[in-house]
Amino acid sequence: MLKVGIIGVGTVGTSVANILLDNKNIITARAGKEIVPTIGVVSNLSKKRDVSIKLTDNIDDILNDDSIDIVVELMGGIEKPYEIVKKALLKGKAVVTANKALLAYHRYELQELAGDIPFEFEAAVAGGIPIINALRDGLSANHIKSIQGIMNGTCNYMLTRMINDGVAYEDILKEAQELGYAEADPTFDVGGFDASHKLLILASIAYGIDVKPEDILIEGIQNITTADIEFAKEFEYSIKLLGITKKIGNEVGLRVHPVLIPQDKMIAKVDGVMNGISVIGDKVGETMFYGAGAGGDATASAVVANIIDIARRGKGSPMLGFENQPGEKITLMAKDDIQTKYYLRLEVADKSGTLAKIATILGNNSISIEAMLQKPLKDQSANLLLTTHICNEKDIIKAISQLENSGVILSKPAMIRIEE
C-alpha cells in the first residue's frame, strides 16, 4: 500500500483524491498495489470541500508523517512550494507536482535534490495531455528540431472567438473572466507568462537547457485588433499564441508570442480552450498532441498517472530526460538573432510618398515586402497591412523604431511574427 498526502485541496486536489477513491479498483490493478489518499492540506478548514479524506491546515502533518509515501504539491506559487517540496524530498518522500512556475525557476535544483527519489510533473504542462512522458520517453531516440505549442486555453479560447465570431479583445476578455477562464488580473495568461513556464520545462527535456522566463522572448495577445483578424482571414492565416522552440546548429530559440500560422497546419485547427503541441523529431517527423489543457479532472488525470508510475517502478525516467549531460552543448539563441517572417500593421497618412518612405526604411534594414494590403480609415488615414520575407528580429525592431519616427506613421506600429 502507498499512502498519498495532498498539499492544496482545491479544484485539482479534490479531483485527485476523488479519482483515487472512485477508480480504486482499476488503479490498484494497473499499479499492482493499493494507493490511498490519506490526508489533504487546505488553507481554510471552514470551507466546504467535496472530499472524504482527512483535512488539515498544517503542512507538517504530511511532511512529518513517516507513513506518507508520496506528496502531491498543488498549492501554486514558487518559493513557498519550493521550500515545502525540498523538505519532502529530504525526508525521502516521492513528489508529484502540477506547479509549472515552481519548475520554470527551480527544476534543475529539484532534479539534483531528488536524486533517486521519484519526482514527477506530467500535469505541469498542458493538463491532461501526456506530453512530458511523450517527449522524455517516446521521442527519446530523436534530436528535437522544433516544438510549437498552444499551451494556454484562456488565450486560445479568446483568439478563437475573435477569429470565428468577430468579438473584440476587450469584450472577449470580459466574457472569459465571467466564464472563469481568465482571472480578475489576466496578465499571467494573456501576457504569455503561463505559456513561457511550460515552454521552459519542455525545452529542458528536449535540449537539456537551463534558462529562466526572463531570458526568453515573451509577448501576449493584448494588442491584437480586428484589423489583424481581418488580415489573417483574408490571407488564410489563423492567429495563435504559441510557445516555440527551434534548434539551429548548437543554438535553440525559445519564445512565446502571437503567431500568424497557415490555416491548413494541424496546430491551427486547435480551437477553444483546448491545447495542442506539435513536436518535430529528426527521425520521427512531426507528432501532434491534443487535449484538455486545464480543468480539475483533466489535470488530476495526469497527476494520478504519475502516482501510478511511481507505484509501479519508483523512479523511472530521469526527471528532465537526461541521465548524463549531452555531448552537444546547446545554448540559448539571442533574441536579436531570431529569424522568421513578420506581419506589420501601420496606420499611415493616406498621401503620396508614404509607401515609398516605408519601403525605403524597410529596404535599408534588409527587409523585403512579400504581400501588402491597404484598408482605408477615416480622416485621410489608412491601415497598411504587410508581410515580409524571412528577416532578423533585430532588423525588424530597428525598422519599426525608424518607422515610428518617420513622420508618416500615425500610431505605434503593430507586429506579429509568422510561422509557416
Predicted confidence (pLDDT) per residue in 264-293, tens digit: 999 999 999 999 999 999 999 999 999 988
C-alpha cell at 420: 509557416
Domain presence at residue 17: yes
pLDDT at 367: 97
Upper half-sphere CA count for residue 397 (Cβ side, 13 Å): 9
The answer as to whether 307 is a domain residue is: yes
Whether residue 282 is found in the same domain as residue 176 = yes
Same domain, 143 and 170: yes
Query: Is 80 designated active site?
Result: no
148 and 271 together in one domain = yes
pLDDT of residue 375: 87
Q: Are residues 60 and 107 located together in one domain of the fold?
A: yes
What is the residue whose three cell numbers read 522524455? 136
Distance CA 313, CA 316 (A): 6
Task: Tell me, yes or no, whether 321 lies in a domain.
Answer: no
Examine the fold and report which residue of 313, 344, 370 is the final residue of a domain before the chain moves on. Answer: 313
Hey, which residues does 392 pair with through a beta bridge?
339
Cα dist from 154 to 108, 220, 244, 340, whole Å:
28, 12, 18, 26
| CB within 8 Å of 323: residues ≥ 6 apart | none
Residue 130: CB atoms within 10 Å:
19
Chosen domain end from 332, 360, 383: 332
Specify whether 121 is located in the same domain as 141. no
Q: Residue 129 — left, alpha, or beta (φ > 0 → left; ψ -120 to 50 → alpha)?
A: beta
Q: What is the CATH number of the domain that holds 59?
A: 3.40.50.720
Give the active site residue among 93, 100, 198, 246: 198
Indicate the pLDDT class of residue 256, thresholds 50, 70 and 90: very high
**Are residues 151 and 55 both part of a single domain?**
no
pLDDT number for residue 376? 87
Query: 123 and 303 in contact (C-beta within 8 Å)?
Result: yes
Count CA atoms closer than 13 A to 404's CA, side-chain side: 10
* Grid coordinates belonging to 207: 535540449
Within this chain, do residues 140 and 283 fall inside the same structural domain, yes or no? yes
- 325's grid cell: 549531460
Q: Which residues contact 140 (CB under 8 A, 6 or more apart)?
A: 321
Cβ atoms of 275 and 127 within 8 Å: the answer is: yes
E strands within 131-182?
144-150
Are 360 and 230 contained in the same domain? no
Q: Are residues 303 and 281 in the same domain?
A: no
Number of domains in the chain: 3
Residue 189 lies in a domain: yes
With residue 189 as reference, give the H or E element that holds it: helix 187-190
24 φ/ψ angles, rounded to the nearest 5 degrees: -55, -45
Q: Cβ distance 241 to 150 under 8 Å?
A: yes
Reply yes or no on whether the pLDDT at 326 is more than 80.
Answer: no
Q: What residues make up the domain containing 152?
A: 134-291+328-332
pTM, two decimal places: 0.94
Q: Is residue 318 part of a domain?
A: no
Instruction: Identify whether residues 245 and 152 lie together within a single domain.
Output: yes
Please indicate, yes or no, whether residues 155 and 271 belong to a single structural domain of this protein. Answer: yes
Cα–Cα distance for residue pair 57/54, rounded to 1 Å: 11
Q: Does any domain span residue 167?
A: yes
Neighbours of 95 (CB within 10 A): 24
State the DSSP code for 334.
P
Distances (CA, A) of 76 to 12, 13, 18, 41, 317: 11, 11, 20, 13, 25
Over the stretch 329-365, which tens digit does the pLDDT of each residue have? 899 999 999 999 999 999 998 888 899 999 999 999 9
If you average pLDDT over residues 387-414, what whole number do you get? Answer: 95
User: Are 206 and 143 part of one and the same domain?
Assistant: yes
Instruction: Look at residue 131 in the predicted model and tell me its pLDDT.
Output: 97
Question: Does any domain span residue 151?
Answer: yes
> How remote is the C-alpha of 419 from its chain's centroid?
17
Domain presence at residue 322: no
